[in-house]
Structure 1
């Protein structure tokens, strides 16, 4: 049964790719996404579950939670199980319920089939990124190059090759931003209706990311000029900082209170010290204050791991990806300048996700391996700006019009035949002036027709 589910998911991916690409790109897309899907299953079987690479932890936790949900269904019936029924689920209710459904159908543990679902979500993510890059103004060739690179981007590949939830959160966040930019361009009722289920789903994967996406979504519906956009952005930041720093009871029993609780737990000295005990842990001289030493934390959040960093085998392999990440950051700066001239509203929507999210992650920074996973959605969004820069630097051959001949068309002047025979006193009124005054091809002027030959 497990292999049948893998085949069924692969078939659904085949249909999704067929519906997402035109004929001239369909074959390439099928090859790339098919290989990306198969590569994740291979990494799962050969690397993640064989003991070759000592990496993971959350994937085994989510597998255990899925088995607990199946037991709960056997006792109380089929339903969507949340942390109210099983407190240990915390903020991973949706992935665990989906994994539990597959386990229930297979009659036992089915990590390969669950990984096939995660790989399908990862392929859906890169398809959305392709569409997103086109929406931002990248050329078709640049957008497709982005799809090919991100399909095999090491961090995304590794964390979508087992029962992790990072692929779900990245897919939902990028899709919400895609709909926000699309609605900022032209409001569509179906797209508006999609935002509600997506945000609810994201809440059951990573609740704090709902607020990371909520601010750009609200900003997308403003209709302000370029100078007014900057003023409004400053106002939003001024309103956001007190919310992030406040610990008062004004948000008690609200979703904001739950997000604040998550943020405070991640910023707590106990939590950060526990994460710093690992092989890739980092300790900052902040005297227990999460907001102290913020420049250093931001530097580590964006640029680690560094070439001189010691750690596990995975951490050493991550340094290769970090070199690509540096290149993406360089291109993103160029792409941001281009996008600001073309579509400043879209650029600010992306920045409202990237900047607050990066600052929030920096306040919890204590482990390079953990931040390597957490910044995956930020890497995905920044890479969209890189695609815009690619489109500006490279002509798009896939949409380039066919070349025209260098020489101009040859024009031959001919006289139309008269419809009837000439009668006495009827003479053609043709002169050199009337011939040179002919401006439209094929239009008679004083009896003269300009005919164009190829």
Structure 2
């Protein structure tokens, strides 16, 4: 049964590609994503199961929680199980229920089948990135390059090659933002319905990410294409940053967000996270908002080339070099997009900037922040794709206007021939 699920996931991926990508691009996209799907299965068999890299922990935790869900179903009947039913699920009900369904069908532990599920989500995310890049102004060539890069980013491959929830989180975050950006272009109630489902699912993966997406998604609904300015962006960003300190209504979502933020920023948790081999402590006097500049540097740019640590951390430096490359082009893409399409630039920056600042207040472990910033890396890379498109267009325009080497320049008037 495990192999049947793997085959079904691969067939579902093929069907998704044919229904998502324009026909002329299917021949390029299909082999890339099938290869990305196969690579994740190979990493699961050759690396994760054989413990080649001393990495893991969360995958084992989610497997045990999924087995708890299966046991609950056998007692109480089939239903969506949340932390109210099994407290150990905490904020990961969607991944645990999804893995539990696979384990229930297979009749026991099935790491390869669960990996096939996560690998399908990873490849589906690559398709979302392709469509999202086209939406924000990249051409098909740049969108394909971005999809190719996303599919094989080392950290993304590693965290979608076993029973981790990072693939669920990244897929839902980028999907929510993609639907919001699409609404910014043209409002559609079908997108609203899909967005509601995606936000609901995201709440049961990482609840605080719903609030990270709230400001740009609200912008998509407002459609403020003509009134956006630098002042508007600063006001909206400030509102998002003040939200944790505001005495808002005692609604369960706001309380849950506040509770998660307080937990992640607490000195006890930060010291606990810093206890590993890649831990970092800042002299901030116990206030998570102090020493924000070095925290931002670590959040965005670590692990640094000189950082010591485990084999996994050293391998992570490969990913960081790719991230530096993307960041360089993303800055250029943001500048160009701000001049040409300020609404879209604001939309992306309203996720990237506040999200990075909030993560910086919880910074205490390079390995942990390395995983947490994956959605930020992916959204930022959309700006890089815009810059690639612009760079190619400018180069072609310059080549057309440049005289060919064999062309004769016109002589000034009165020059004897």
TM-score class, shorter-chain normalisation, is over 0.9
Displacement of 1:224 after TM fit? 3.9
Q: Which residue does the alignment assign to 1:283? A: 281
Displacement of 1:395 after TM fit? 4.6
Displacement of 1:31 after TM fit? 0.9
Is the 8 Å Cα contact of residues 183 and 223 (structure 2) preserved in structure 1? no
Is the 8 Å Cα contact of residues 17 and 26 (structure 1) preserved in structure 2? yes
Displacement of 1:103 after TM fit? 0.2
Q: Which residue does the alignment assign to 1:432? A: none
Which of 14-23 and 266-275 deviates more? 14-23
In structure 2, list runs of 5 or more residues that go unmatched: 396-417
Q: Does 1:362 align with 2:366?
A: no
Partner SS for 2:205: coil
1:50-449 mapped onto 2 (5 Å cutoff)? 50-224=50-224, 228-246=228-246, 250-395=248-393
Q: Which residue does the alignment assign to 1:408? A: none
Displacement of 1:34 after TM fit? 0.6
Displacement of 1:241 after TM fit? 3.0
What's the TM-score, normalizing by structure 1? Answer: 0.85
Which of 231-240 and 383-392 deviates more? 231-240
Separation (CA, whole Å) in 2 of partners of 1:192 and 1:57? 36
Deviation digits for residues 331-378 of structure 1 (CA, Å, limit 9, x no counterpart): 001111121122111111111111111011000000000000000000
Is the 8 Å Cα contact of residues 142 and 396 (structure 1) preserved in structure 2? no
Displacement of 1:244 after TM fit? 1.9
Is the 8 Å Cα contact of residues 141 and 396 (structure 1) preserved in structure 2? no
Separation (CA, whole Å) in 2 of partners of 1:15 and 1:269? 48
Which of 183-192 and 301-310 deviates more? 183-192
Partner SS for 1:221: helix
What's the TM-score, normalizing by structure 2? Answer: 0.92
Separation (CA, whole Å) in 2 of partners of 1:91 and 1:319? 30
Displacement of 1:179 after TM fit? 1.0
Separation (CA, whole Å) in 2 of partners of 1:223 and 1:109? 47
Which of 114-123 and 26-35 deviates more? 26-35
In structure 1, list runs of 5 or more residues that go unmatched: 398-454
More helix as a share of residues = 2
Q: Relative to 1, partners in 2 of residues 1:225 and 1:30: Cα closer, same or farther, differing over 3 Å?
A: closer
Partner SS for 2:78: coil
Give the structure with higher Rg (CA).
1
